């Protein structure tokens, strides 16, 4: 299996702290002796990670032009979870389920941003269909700033069937659609719930929409008709967080 590169101080630190066994080696820019890098080196040494010093050009090549901040690690790719994992996780939950479903989000940058937002909001898992979904890769890891290693990303074979299974477990499913007359701030987002976000432009697929219990929308005051999917996800998730803490 081809290794992938994770780069940037925060993303690499999270990878070392959360899943050091995935890391096959670390490359650090020659001359970097600042506190942040030293702390990272101490963590890596404690986990017996092989460290090599190299020049910036080699790091630039590894990061393919990304901002690596002088550190890159080679990792085994993160593995997405499956339906069985989701069932087992939900059975073990001791609090109301809080899930995010992404229907047709294929851009790794958007997936990474959604994972980061989901982690910040306390979402238990992010669910997506195996087809027409972004894969977990180095770009996702970088954008997610460590959340890709923490928040389970579950790829399911049949999203409509999974949604039906969630409903049978008592989890309410709330979809987002511009034509809905219910604002996100007026909806009841407390209790066991899954929020469904569709792809930018197209939105949710018809079958996905039909399996939602409720539809909500974000009120748009300006000329722009829609938000980036990760921004819209943040608005909706944190409204749910506000309600659940109230």
pLDDT digits (tens, 9 = 90+) for 82-127: 999 999 999 999 999 999 999 999 999 999 999 999 999 999 999 9
**Least confident interval from 59-73, 96-110, 135-149, 183-197:** 135-149
pLDDT digits (tens, 9 = 90+) for 206-217: 999 999 999 999
Same domain as 216, residue 171? yes
Q: Domain ends where: 43, 75, 107?
A: 75
The pLDDT value given to residue 1? 53
41 a known binding residue? no
215 a known binding residue? no
Residue 68's domain is classified under what CATH number?
A: 3.30.1330.30
Reduced to 3 states (helix: H, G, I; strand: E, B; else coil), residue 24 is strand
> How many domains does the chain contain in total?
2
Same domain as 131, residue 177? yes
Same domain as 135, residue 34? no
* Ordered alpha helix ranges (H), the chain: 9-19, 35-46, 56-63, 83-92, 108-121, 138-144, 159-168, 206-210, 229-245
What does pLDDT average to over the chain? 91
pTM of the model: 0.84
66 a known binding residue? no
What percentage of the chain has pLDDT greater than the value 70? 98
Q: Domain ends where: 54, 75, 96?
A: 75
Residue 37 belongs to domain spanning = 4-75
Same domain as 199, residue 88? yes
Q: How confident is the model at residue 225 (pLDDT cuts 50, 70, 90)?
A: low
């Amino acid at each position: 299996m081809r290794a992938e590169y994770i780069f940037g101080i925060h993303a690499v630190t999270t990878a070392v702290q959360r899943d050091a066994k995935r890391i096959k080696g670390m490359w650090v820019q020659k001359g970097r002796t600042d506190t942040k890098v030293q702390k990272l080196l101490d963590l890596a040494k404690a986990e017996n990670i092989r460290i090599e010093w190299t020049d910036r050009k080699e790091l630039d090549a590894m990061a393919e032009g990304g901002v690596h901040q002088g550190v890159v690690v080679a990792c085994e790719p993160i593995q997405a979870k499956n339906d069985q994992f989701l069932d087992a996780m939900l059975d073990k939950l001791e609090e109301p389920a809080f899930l995010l479903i992404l229907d047709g989000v294929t851009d790794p940058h958007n997936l990474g941003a959604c994972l980061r937002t989901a982690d910040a909001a306390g979402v238990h898992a992010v669910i997506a269909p195996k087809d027409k979904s972004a894969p977990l890769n180095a770009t996702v890891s970088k954008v997610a700033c460590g959340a890709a290693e923490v928040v389970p990303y579950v790829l399911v074979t049949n999203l409509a069937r999974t949604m039906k299974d969630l409903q049978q477990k008592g989890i309410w499913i709330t979809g987002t659609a511009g034509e809905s007359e219910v604002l996100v701030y007026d909806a009841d987002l407390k209790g066991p719930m899954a929020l469904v976000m569709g792809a930018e432009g197209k939105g949710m697929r018809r079958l996905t929409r039909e399996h939602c219990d409720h539809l909500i929308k974000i009120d748009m005051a300006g000329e722009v008709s829609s938000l980036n999917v990760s921004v819209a996800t943040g608005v909706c998730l944190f409204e749910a967080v506000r309600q659940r803490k109230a």
